[in-house]
């Protein structure tokens, strides 16, 4: 009788061991799948802080391109305003870093929307007398690429921009690969 009870205990212990082993082997399957689905070599998966520092350069690149175009819009300015409210790929810290980098142009940099500039008295009668406004509306980064609409605005009759501009991270730098639809007013 004792032998039968011992055999039952051993059998139960054996079955429990197998169940524990099976659960342990399959319990991490979702994590394994998620790890396999991560893109390899994606420079944006390091950390949010490193991603921001890296991604800020994309926005600096497109603003620099637009700044150099239609330079008449830049004459006699004191301010560079950037509407960062629609930028989805940067945290608040990344947006602050972008504005800091733009200070290298030698002007006072403002983080304001058109409406805020108007309310503060910078824009009067659809004219930003002492500055220019860059407005950027982007889509989430996909495959090291950002698609955006960007404009440089001085007045109702003085503005330029690109809708559907694409910038990609290639060879350790951001490059504009498609200008999209250019417009001017």
Q: Is the pLDDT of residue 43 over 90?
A: no
Identify the residue with better confidence: 38 or 115: 115
Claim to verify: residue 11 and residue 80 sit in the same structural domain: no
Burial of 65 (0-12, 13-18, 19+ CB in 10 A): middle
Indicate whether 47 pLDDT > 60.
no
Domains contained in the chain, number: 2
- The span from the CA of 45 to the CA of 54, in Å, is 11
* Statement to judge: residues 85 and 10 lie in one domain: no
Q: What is the pLDDT of residues 165-178, one digit of tens each?
A: 999 999 999 999 99
Give 54-97 pLDDT, tens digit per residue: 899 999 999 999 999 999 999 999 999 999 999 999 999 999 99
Same domain, 18 and 94: no
Mean pLDDT of all residues in 98-109: 97
């Amino acid at each position: 009788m004792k032998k039968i009870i011992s055999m039952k205990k051993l059998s139960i212990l054996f079955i429990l061991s197998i169940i524990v082993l099976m659960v342990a082997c399959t319990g991490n399957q979702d994590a394994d799948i998620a790890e396999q689905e991560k893109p390899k070599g994606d420079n944006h998966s390091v950390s949010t802080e490193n991603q921001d520092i890296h991604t800020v350069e994309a926005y600096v690149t497109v603003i620099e391109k637009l700044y150099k175009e239609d330079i008449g819009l830049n004459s006699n300015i004191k301010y560079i305003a950037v509407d960062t409210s629609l930028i989805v790929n940067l945290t608040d810290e990344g947006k602050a870093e972008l504005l800091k980098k733009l200070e290298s142009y030698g002007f006072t940099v403002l983080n304001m929307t058109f409406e805020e500039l108007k309310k503060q008295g910078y824009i009067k009668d659809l004219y930003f007398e002492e500055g220019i406004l860059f407005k950027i509306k982007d889509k989430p980064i996909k495959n090291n690429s950002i698609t955006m609409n960007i404009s440089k605005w001085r007045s109702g009759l003085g503005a330029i921009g690109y809708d559907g501009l694409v910038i990609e991270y290639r060879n350790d730098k951001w490059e504009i690969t498609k200008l999209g639809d250019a417009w001017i007013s």
